[in-house]
Amino acid sequence: MEWVGEHLDLIGRLLTLHAWYAFLPLLIGLALSIPLGWAAHRWPAGRGAVLTVTGLLYTVPSLALFILMPLVLGTKILDPTNVIVAMTIYTVALLVRTVVDGLGSVPEEVDRAAVAMGYGPLRRFLGVQLPLAAPVIAAGLRVAAVSNVSMLSVASLIGVPQLGDLLTDGYNRDIPAELVAGILACILVALAFDVLIQLVTRVLTPWTRASTSGRAA
């Protein structure tokens, strides 16, 4: 693996860019998916339309979406904004259904108790429904994070630097070490995201830890 030792700076720079281009859309996508999912959950009449549209967005090939973004946004094709917007669209496509499922998993008796205590729709959502739905939403977020890390590699074909560059360059120049480094670096980023999401979820849902501890005892 002599090639890896000679190119640690390059690998580190591309890994950082890859992580950022995957993480930012994850945050933006989550922020957009929560209100969309809440609206779909609260008004069942529009749920089918919301889920169908967001589901269809995920079927658009990533390379095609990366190429279309400059035409839609009016940006240059090498602008990372194109990738961030495209990955945000994919994140929303994955997470809206997860948010709906998470809110649907909240026990009806808990929801009714909140109504009886005088909680309005917004307060009930933020104080009761969303916290209880957090574990389900986190599971979907983990899938979206891994998906983002994987699909982002395609952006190297339009000249946006990230770990996909190691894959295309390693293949074109027949450098197996570069290919392996790119694959392992992508796996490392995906694992880091997965661990981070699990840790944040545990912090935000302390009652799940208490429940687990009680069963173990």
Q: Label residue 214 by pLDDT band (50, 70, 90).
A: low
In tens, the pLDDT along 189-210 reads 999 999 999 999 998 888 766 5
Write the CATH number of the domain with boundaries 2-207: 1.10.3720.10
| Cα atoms in the Cβ-side hemisphere of radius 13 Å centred on 82 | 26
pLDDT of residue 114: 85
Note the pLDDT tens digit of each residue in 155-181: 888 888 999 999 999 989 999 999 999
